[in-house]
């Protein structure tokens, strides 16, 4: 089983966690939503699997490229 990092593509604030630990996700399903410049930008799963870790909480600041979650594929 491979562990895949889910990375933020923008700098902003974690607005909502869509898929918590243990949730099953499909490729391109939203895992986290980041608010940046008054826009809501979904961070999506790169592969299907189970969310193993969520490394941020709602309200946390993230930078482009930060790992925000990990998926067991």
Domain ranges of the chain: 3-72
Q: Give the CATH architecture of domain 3-72.
A: Beta Barrel (2.40)
CA distance 8 to 64: 5
20-71 confidence digits (pLDDT tens): 999 999 999 999 999 999 999 999 999 999 999 999 999 999 999 999 999 9
CA distance 64 to 24: 25
Confidence category of residue 1, pLDDT binned at 50, 70, 90: confident
CA distance 73 to 64: 23
Tell me which H or E stretch contains 7: strand 3-7
CA distances from 37 to 9, 34, 69 (A): 14, 10, 22
């Amino acid at each position: 089983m491979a562990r895949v990092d889910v990375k933020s593509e923008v700098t902003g604030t974690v607005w909502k966690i869509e898929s918590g630990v243990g949730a099953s996700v499909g490729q391109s399903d939203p895992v986290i939503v980041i608010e940046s410049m008054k826009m809501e930008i979904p961070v999506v799963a790169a592969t299907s699997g189970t969310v193993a870790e969520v490394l941020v909480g709602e309200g946390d600041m993230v930078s482009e490229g930060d790992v925000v979650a990990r998926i067991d594929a």
